[in-house]
Each structure stands twice: as C-alpha cells, then as structure tokens.
C-alpha cells in the first residue's frame, strides 16, 4: 500500500448556515495593546504551505493510507471493524455504511439515524449504534445486507433538543455490559431548546453553568446490563466523546476542557464516582435538596470528585481528545502492546498513553504519536479508532457540525521496523524511569542536558478551562542509564503530587545511531507519589490572568414554565418553583 498525498487545501465544509445568532453584549474590556510583532525575528517557517509527498519522520516505521469516502464529503462519527473484516462507518448525516477493504467498495446498511456517534458490531448482521435519542440494535434479519429491524436497547435518559446533548459509545466489557456517555447541553445555544417538549423530567436546577444538565443524566455514563437494564453509572462529565475498555476490562472515558474541566483528560471510570462537572450532580440522589449542585462550595465538590488518570496539556498537545483504544494487536502494530492510542480533533497526530499503578491509583503519561509537523500524514478531526485483524489501525475523521476537524478515513500500518520511542514512563521516589523501545546511545541519554522538564497544575473551578498554575522548570540532578541501555532514571530536584510533569528529550538516538527518537515529548500526570501522598491541594479561588474577565453566563431560568416533559425518565420529583 502506498500512502497518499494529503494536501492542505480549503476543505469542503459543513457548517450551520442559517441559525439566527443572537448576540450577547460583551462585557469587557481589558484593553490589550499589542505592537507590530516579530518584525525582526525572521524565524524561518518550519512548515510548508502544502504537505508534500515527502516522507515523514515516521515513514520508515508506519504507513498512512487514505481511503476514499463515498461520494460527497462526509464526517466519520463512528467506526468499527466487523467480524468478517469489513469496516463499518456511521456518518454524521445518519448513514451506516460498510467499506470492504478487499473490493474497495462502499455499501449502505442503514439510513436516517440521528447523529450516530458510535457503532459496535455484535455480528456481521447486528450492529449497536449510539444515536442522539437512544442506543439502537440494527439487525439485518433477512440477509439482504440492509438493516430491517431497529430495536431500542436503551433510551432511559433525557433529551431536550439542545444541540450539544450528544451521545457517545457504546463499549462492552467482558461480562457483556454496555456503556455509553451523554454530553451536557450548551447554555449558549439559542434557543436552549428547539421545542417546548423535552424527554424526561425537566429540572431547571440542572440548567446552570456553561454546560447544563436540565434533563436526566446529561453528563453521565450509563450502563446497560446484559438483561437490558439501564443504570446511571457515573457522573461529572461535560462532553465525554470517547469511551474505551482496557485489557484489564476497566472502563475509561475522556472529557473536554470547559466549565469545571481545567484541561481535557482521560479518566478511569468507576461506578457512582463523580468526575467534576457539577451540574450533572442534580440527578444524583444525594443532591435532591432543592438547590443546584453548583451552589455547593467548590471545595466540597473538589472533595467529591475523582481526578483524571492522565491530563492532556491543553493547547500545546491536545484540545479535544477523542476515543481511547488499547493496543491489543499482540505486536502487529509495533512495540506498544497494552498502551492506549487516542484521537485528537485539532491535531494531525494521535496520542499514546502509558498507564501504571501507583499507590493503588491509575495514572500515567501521554506522548504525541505520528507527529511530524513538517510532513504530517494524518488529517485533523481524528475521532474514532479501530484495529483490524491484521493490526491495521483505522482512523475515522469528522468535522461534524463545526468541531474544527476534517473529514476522512485513514489506515495506519506498522512496517515491522521498531521505531525509537519512550515505551514507558514510571514514577520513582524522586523522579521518573524512562524505558525505550530500543537501546539508546548512553552518552546522550546519560547527559542531563538532554532533558528539560517543567511542572504545573490545572485548577478546578466553574470557569471555562484553567491556566497552568505555578509553571516552573524542574532541575534534573542526574540521568542514569541502565546496563542494557534501554532505561534511563531521572532524578529530580523536587517531586510533588497532584501536578503535571512535562518532559522534553532532545537528541536521543538509538545505540546503533540508526534511529532518532520519534516523539521527544512526554507528559506525566502525578496524582499519587509512591508513598505518603499528601491530600490534594484545595481549589484556588479563580484567578483570571490580567486579560481575562470572569465569563458571564445567561441567567438560568429556574422555572419550568413552558417546558413540557413527555416520556423518558420521570423518577425525579418536581421541585417547587422558586
């Protein structure tokens, strides 16, 4: 297979066109004065205008093939590989289509679905598809290649026609439990709901914050048991566009930076835990007291929440991470068995996550994967991942309705040559131990000047996103190379819990000098230390940087006037109007 050219041209776009935009008067106005910038610096451009056919730094190891999509430009919202090897794609426009890699032909299985953001094949004739209103089993009962039965598997959640109430998943664990996740609605949608009818009980106390949960279980992860029961499983998510099950059968989910989410992150999800996005708590039994969860002191919410296993450096590495997929190919995709790959909407690369257990907690590191800004081969909009039986990694890309991505379908294959990468980053008593996929040149790897490390943390607060707090360099006192030259232990000046440690490695090469380190950037989220982890620091009062003002949200309308609830979960009693 040859990798095809990816040109950087204006992509055909799919944007909401006619929505009347009501404008909120900006409050303001911290004047930021800038002068003509960079006039004399003359930094050469590192990036060509058009990505060329030229090989990437990863081309000796990986190949990226671009699969032509069906006629017209389409967003890949869901992606999976069928037992028979066909690839199934759910498109934003509501189609479910198969791509047969043998014949290179597309065919249609179903149409007319509502924003199908995930697909899970149960057999060659049965597919679970997550639509905005429900989880549906699509069955081809007569074998003609088209779905003729659309069976509702789970719709026990509220829906209010707010555009951001996306539904993601499903994934299945070894016991046959299904999990899906429900995005919160946007307080900035105009209007907040398109009709005055909602599904499920409408609770205005959930219609608070930037992203809202006015109907049941928005911001929750739901579990569907093998006997068909839907159980609200965990909450505190904002827009969790990506679920995954790791090889130990544990559930993970990502979330996107925003209100109550300082930076996008990967979470290990456990039943009844709360992960930070406060409005969602209104649907939990212990938050039925008639006040909104966001009126709870932030210190109390902070004590309730479970922290992410891995935080993604916002902006510089990742804005919008997507689905995590663990490498279960047994080495067919290279030396990454047991690690997770994640899509990234805004970047032309994937991310690779290395987890470990520290002091009984799961945490770990993240590094970009297939990142060559000079000759990128992946599109943006990397939304869904799936392995085929040959260990090829399929990547579905979406633009959706303006998610800053691109549209496409690509397949990454490993060429059999082991690249030089950091294969593990493990916490030690006073620093980190790095493992490499190949023996490294000990002179370079043993020189502290090879490494640069900084540390910072993100704050927990209602405002949109967090700055990097207390961002400062960390001194590396020594770098000790192991006898087999595959490991380096970094001893630090100081190591603290509840922080990110951002490491860059410059000039690391393999011992034989044939391979340069592909990704010289790894960021480890230290929650726990090996021993004696101190309690997490309390949230800081939101301290906006000088050019930021506290955002103002529309005053939530805390009455149910005009909203009619029909069907859906009704088990929460209406609260008196106030």
Partner 1 sequence: MHPGICVFSAPCSVFSQRYPTRAWVRYLFLLAAALASLPGAVGAAGATEVIHIGTLPGLRFDTGAFSVRPGSDVEVVFSNYDEMLHNFVVVKPGSRERVVQAALALATGAAEKNFVPDSPDVLWASKVVPAGQSVTLKLTAPAALGEYPYVCTFPGHGILMFGTMIVTNTPQPAVMNPVSLPKPPARTGAPATSPDGMDHAQHAGTPTAATAARAVTMRAFMPNSGPAAIAVQLPGGVSYCWDAGAGRFRYAWTGGYMTMPAAAERGLAKIQGEVFYTEPAYPLRLGAAPGTEPKQIDFKGYTLDAQRIPEFETVVDGVTVRERAEVRDGKLVRRFRTSGEATVWFAIPAENAGLDAPSGTKAGAFYRFAGEAAKEFTIIRPIPVSSTP
Residue 424 near residue 488 (C-beta atoms within 8 A) = no
- Determine the interface stretch with partner 1 among 58-66, 169-177, 193-201, 230-238 (rule: CB under 8 A): 193-201
**Lookup: tokens for 254:** 């990502």
Instruction: Give the footprint of partner 1 on residues 109-128 (CB under 8 A).
Output: 111-115
Is 469 a binder of partner 1 (CB under 8 A)? no
Is 85 a binder of partner 1 (CB under 8 A)? no
- Exactly one of 155, 280, 388, 511 binds partner 1 (CB under 8 A); that residue is 155
**Lookup: tokens for 263:** 């930076």
Q: How far is residue 168's CA from residue 158's CA, in Å, rounded to a whole number?
A: 14
Q: How far is residue 143's CA from residue 129's CA, in Å, rounded to a whole number?
A: 19
DSSP-derived secondary structure letter, 318: B
**Smallest gap from residue 80 Cβ to partner 1 (A):** 18
- Determine the interface stretch with partner 1 among 56-64, 102-110, 286-294, 332-340 (rule: CB under 8 A): 102-110
Considering beta carbons, is residue 345 or 492 the nearer one to partner 1?
Answer: 345
**Smallest gap from residue 552 Cβ to partner 1 (A):** 6
Considering beta carbons, is residue 246 or 569 the nearer one to partner 1?
Answer: 569
Considering beta carbons, is residue 498 or 521 the nearer one to partner 1?
Answer: 521
| Site string (159-178) toward partner 1, x via CB under 8 A | xxx-xxxx------------
**Smallest gap from residue 75 Cβ to partner 1 (A):** 9
**Smallest gap from residue 193 Cβ to partner 1 (A):** 8
Sole residue written with tokens 């990986």? 62
- Determine the interface stretch with partner 1 among 41-49, 242-250, 352-360, 487-495 (rule: CB under 8 A): 41-49
Is 33 a binder of partner 1 (CB under 8 A)? yes
Is 49 a binder of partner 1 (CB under 8 A)? yes
**Smallest gap from residue 116 Cβ to partner 1 (A):** 9
- CA proximity to 557, closest of 155, 207, 126, 45: 207
Considering beta carbons, is residue 287 or 349 the nearer one to partner 1?
Answer: 349
Is 39 a binder of partner 1 (CB under 8 A)? yes
Strand partners, 99: 87, 106
| Site string (333-352) toward partner 1, x via CB under 8 A | ------------xxxx----
**Smallest gap from residue 490 Cβ to partner 1 (A):** 18
What sign has the CA pseudo-torsion 372, 378, 383, 388? Answer: negative
Distances in Å between the Cα of 181 and the Cα atoms of 79, 351, 402, 456 are 16, 21, 20, 30
Q: How far is residue 257's CA from residue 465's CA, in Å, rounded to a whole number?
A: 6
Residue 270 near residue 233 (C-beta atoms within 8 A) = no
Q: How far is residue 187's CA from residue 358's CA, in Å, rounded to a whole number?
A: 38
Instruction: Give the footprint of partner 1 on residues 54-83 (CB under 8 A).
Output: 70-74
**Smallest gap from residue 45 Cβ to partner 1 (A):** 6
**Lookup: tokens for 147:** 């779905």
Considering beta carbons, is residue 177 or 193 the nearer one to partner 1?
Answer: 193
Is 212 a binder of partner 1 (CB under 8 A)? no
- Determine the interface stretch with partner 1 among 191-199, 304-312, 478-486, 507-515 (rule: CB under 8 A): 191-199
Is 543 a binder of partner 1 (CB under 8 A)? no
Considering beta carbons, is residue 189 or 480 the nearer one to partner 1?
Answer: 189
Distances in Å between the Cα of 365 and the Cα atoms of 19, 341, 502 are 41, 12, 9
Peptide bond into 29 cis (omega under 30): yes
Considering beta carbons, is residue 247 or 507 the nearer one to partner 1?
Answer: 507
Q: How far is residue 512's CA from residue 402's CA, in Å, rounded to a whole number?
A: 46
Sole residue written with tokens 């869901």? 78
Q: How far is residue 159's CA from residue 371's CA, in Å, rounded to a whole number?
A: 38
Q: How many Cα atoms are found within 13 Å in the side-chain-facing hemisphere of 163? A: 11
Is 279 a binder of partner 1 (CB under 8 A)? no
Is 225 a binder of partner 1 (CB under 8 A)? no
DSSP-derived secondary structure letter, 546: T
- CA proximity to 293, closest of 308, 274, 280: 280
Considering beta carbons, is residue 191 or 331 the nearer one to partner 1?
Answer: 191
Is 578 a binder of partner 1 (CB under 8 A)? no
| Site string (480-509) toward partner 1, x via CB under 8 A | ----------------------x-x-----
Which three-class secondary structure state does DSSP give residue 253? strand
Is 329 a binder of partner 1 (CB under 8 A)? no
**Lookup: tokens for 570:** 């009704």
């Amino acid at each position: 297979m040859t990798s095809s050219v990816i040109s950087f041209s204006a992509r055909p776009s799919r944007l909401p066109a006619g929505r009347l935009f009501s404008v909120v008067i900006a409050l303001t106005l911290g004047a930021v004065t800038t002068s003509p910038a960079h006039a004399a610096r003359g930094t050469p451009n590192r990036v060509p205008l058009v990505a060329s056919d030229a090989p990437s730094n990863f081309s000796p190891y990986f190949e990226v093939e671009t699969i032509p999509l069906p006629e017209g430009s389409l967003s890949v919202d869901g992606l999976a590989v069928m037992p028979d090897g066909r690839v199934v794609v759910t498109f934003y426009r509501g189609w479910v289509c198969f791509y047969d890699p043998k014949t290179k032909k597309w065919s249609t299985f179903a149409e007319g679905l509502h924003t199908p953001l995930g697909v899970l094949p149960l057999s060659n004739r049965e597919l679970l598809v997550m639509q905005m209103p429900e989880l549906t089993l699509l069955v081809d009962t007569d074998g003609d290649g088209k779905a003729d039965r659309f069976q509702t598997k789970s719709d026990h959640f509220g829906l209010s026609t707010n555009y951001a109430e996306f539904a993601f998943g499903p994934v299945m664990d070894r016991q046959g439990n299904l999990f899906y996740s429900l995005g919160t609605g946007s307080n900035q949608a105009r209007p907040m709901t398109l009709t005055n009818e909602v599904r499920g009980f409408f609770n205005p106390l959930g219609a608070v914050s930037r992203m809202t949960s006015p109907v049941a279980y928005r911001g929750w992860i739901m579990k569907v048991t093998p006997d068909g029961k839907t159980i609200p499983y965990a909450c505190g998510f904002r827009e969790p566009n990506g679920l995954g099950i790791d090889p130990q059968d544990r559930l993970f989910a990502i979330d996107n930076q925003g209100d109550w989410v300082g930076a996008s992150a990967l979470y290990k999800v456990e039943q009844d835990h709360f992960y930070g996005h406060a409005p969602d708590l209104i649907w939990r039994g212990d938050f039925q007291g008639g006040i909104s969860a966001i009126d709870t002191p932030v210190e109390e919410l902070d004590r309730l929440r479970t922290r992410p296993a891995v935080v993604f450096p916002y902006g510089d590495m990742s804005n919008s991470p997507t689905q995590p997929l663990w490498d279960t190919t047994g080495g067919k995709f290279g030396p990454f068995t047991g690690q997770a790959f994640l899509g990234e909407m805004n970047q032309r690369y994937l991310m690779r996550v290395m987890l470990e257990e520290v002091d009984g907690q799961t945490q770990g590191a993240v590094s970009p994967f297939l990142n060559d800004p000079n000759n990128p081969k992946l599109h943006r909009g990397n939304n869904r991942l799936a392995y085929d039986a040959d260990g090829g990694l399929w990547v579905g890309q979406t633009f959706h309705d303006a998610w800053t991505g691109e549209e496409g379908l690509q397949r990454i294959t490993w060429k059999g040559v082991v690249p030089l990468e950091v294969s593990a980053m493990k916490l030690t008593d006073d620093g980190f131990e790095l493992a490499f996929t190949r023996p490294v040149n000990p002179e370079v790897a043993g020189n502290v000047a090879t490494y640069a490390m900084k540390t910072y943390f993100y704050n927990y607060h209602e405002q949109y996103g967090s700055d990097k707090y207390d961002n400062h360099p960390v001194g590396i006192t020594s770098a000790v190379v192991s006898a087999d030259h595959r490991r380096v232990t970094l001893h630090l000046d100081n190591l603290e819990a509840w922080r990110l440690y951002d490491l860059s490695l410059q000039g690391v090469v393999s011992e034989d000098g044939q391979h340069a380190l592909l990704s010289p950037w790894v960021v480890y989220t230290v929650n726990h230390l090996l021993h004696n982890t101190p309690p997490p620091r309390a949230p800081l009062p939101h301290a906006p940087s000088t050019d930021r003002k506290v955002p103002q949200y529309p005053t939530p309308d805390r009455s149910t006037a005009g909203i009619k609830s029909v069907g859906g979960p009704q088990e929460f009693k209406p609260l008196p109007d106030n």
